[in-house]
Structure 1
Amino acid sequence: MDSFVDGHGYLAACTAGLPTHGTLAAMRADLDEWGRAGSCPVRYGDLVEEGRALFAGIVGVPSDRVATGSQTSAMTAVVAAALPDGAEVVVADGDFSSIVFPFLAQAHRGVRVRSVPLDALARSITPDTDLVAWSAVQSATGTVVDSGAVVAAARAVGARTLCDLTQAAGILPLSVAGFAVADVDVSVTHAYKWLCAPRGVAFATVSEAAQDWLRPVQAGWYAGADVWSSCYGPEMRLADDARRFDVSPAWQAWPGAVAALRHVASLNVRSAWRHATGLADRLADRLGTARQTQAVTTLPDPTGSRLAALTAAGITASGRAGRLRLAFHHWNDESDVDAVAEVLGR
């Protein structure tokens, strides 16, 4: 907890994480360097490569399977563009729009999106399904999906897989969800939530098989085999690994992101999960509600009155889809449980 800024009363890691002191120091140093006209693109490139390797270690894939970007929707759009005309995509009802909208935007060429209940996702995959896309942890509810069952069902019929790890990476041991990142064709992750990086740094993992059917439709100079020899056309020679799907980095975000990823890589994710779910379950016990054993616990709040009461008490939470969301992360402790229980118990 001491590594982070004071996060007491902040229960919104599912909206945006908080920085460590190291992250803030790295970003301030970078701004000072920029102010002295000392910024160096090559140094930023070194940070991108360090960040790529750190993220690869966190999610358990080789670094040459990781592409870097700035938004999950843009990465998902690369997958959507690679589907054949008339393809069927299966998604879960109410999943986050960044892994739904890019497929809906392909309707002009006959791509069909079939939305099914979350608890029926795996059994809704059929031989007609070309791809299934889902979030390992649902944004609106914090529900941990049985991703292993989804992957197995997709493999059984030859369907491709896309998993969003934005609400999972940095907090959820993937064994809890029954799968490994290497099991899916593509994963996408924005690092500004549970990984506590500045907004503007995102990652995709691309399997060797997926690299053969994806098209690098966003390719620019940063996707080149040699970045600094790829600044001008018309000749194009892309990287032969997942870097061919890189986009030019938002430089100022990377010093803070690398500091954040270094910190996450030093932690035990199982301990983090036990800490977060333990606090959430303690709150459920205090409120007399059912334990959800999730890092994000939710309560009905159709009018927003519960969220408003917490806000008035100086507690930061969030509301989605008619529910109050309370996210517990490294900086929270039992005092946060007591504070929320006192407000909601009124």
Structure 2
Amino acid sequence: MRGKRKHVYQHIIEDLKRQIAEGKIRHNEPLPTQIELARMYNTSEITSRRALAELANEGIISRTRGKGSFLKQETERTAYNGLQQRAELSQIYFVYNNEIASAYHHRFFSDLLTGIKEECELHGIPFYIWGMDDEFQMPEGDDIGIILHPHLKNGNEMPLDLLRQWKEEGKRLVTVHFYYPHLQIPYVIVDNFVGGYLATEHLLSLGHERIGIILTGKSPVEMNQEFALRLQGYKLALTQHRVAFDLELVCVLDGERESEQMGAEGLNRLMSLEQRPTAIFATSDSKAIGAIKAAGKRGLLVPDDVSIIGYDDILVSQFTIPSLTTINQNTLLLGKRAAQILLFERKSEQMRDEIVPQLIIRSSTGEAKTASPEYST
């Protein structure tokens, strides 16, 4: 029996690594863009995008929006072995806003903080957590590195003029989860676009074509970065499978934080449509769990009557009935990379890293009952 066939993105990665080893790709020359790679390997841009993101996650290349992907110099690639002189930081802080302190019990943040802590301990750098008050006071000192989560109450973000001021003052900043390219502040984010694509593509691969999506925001055009990008990924997956985008299947709910109640309300709205969806992408585990409970109250079986996928892979998601198919955001690596940028990258203002999330398949998704021949397996 033959071994498991490799995915196209893995072939792209291996081929690029071979070219690097043979000296065909040099550190001062850009790699092919995701569009060029897609053409070269006769595949989709989402596949070539994933290949580049995986190489960036391995520390082999660096990616800069508007400029492209570049092979890291040898001193950069060996930074994690201690061969590169470390920037003179005495301590690193994770800075958050006190308004949403309760949200930091979420697995996203526990894994993020663990990643930062492990990287700091590896290099003997003290790590602290700093809660900002309404006056947005920050830790002071030229030898302090700051990992900032610029998220406020009600889904708002910190004022841009404040971030611009900190940048001009020379504070050594890295933002996580949100980014501001025009401010030239380095950032590390989870690729929510890819995450939204992976979740939707999974449902499409099971034969679902009428797929509802539950989002947090004020309207389909007014929501924060993470949900807007998940919606874009959802749309791309539909397009690639030649399934028409239907605004009727987009349910946007306003709320200060993710909740099961939002998921229940979203499912009830979608299931009240004349043409009901056979699957729902809830865009967070809290909403997905609420949707599963609401489905049960309506006498619907998950996944027999409706498949439901979440996003976050919170700890309880593996213990729900049925266990929840979801997207793991790989935030442990997110934390490590944020600390590494502060510790090792001399030109950190040029650093922009995107971490690739992972599809976790459990029991809440299954094949559509009326799958079309094109998508049935």
TM-score, scaled relative to structure 2: 0.34
Instruction: Choose 1 or 2 for highest CA Rg.
Output: 2
* Greater RCO, CA 8 A, separation 6+: 1
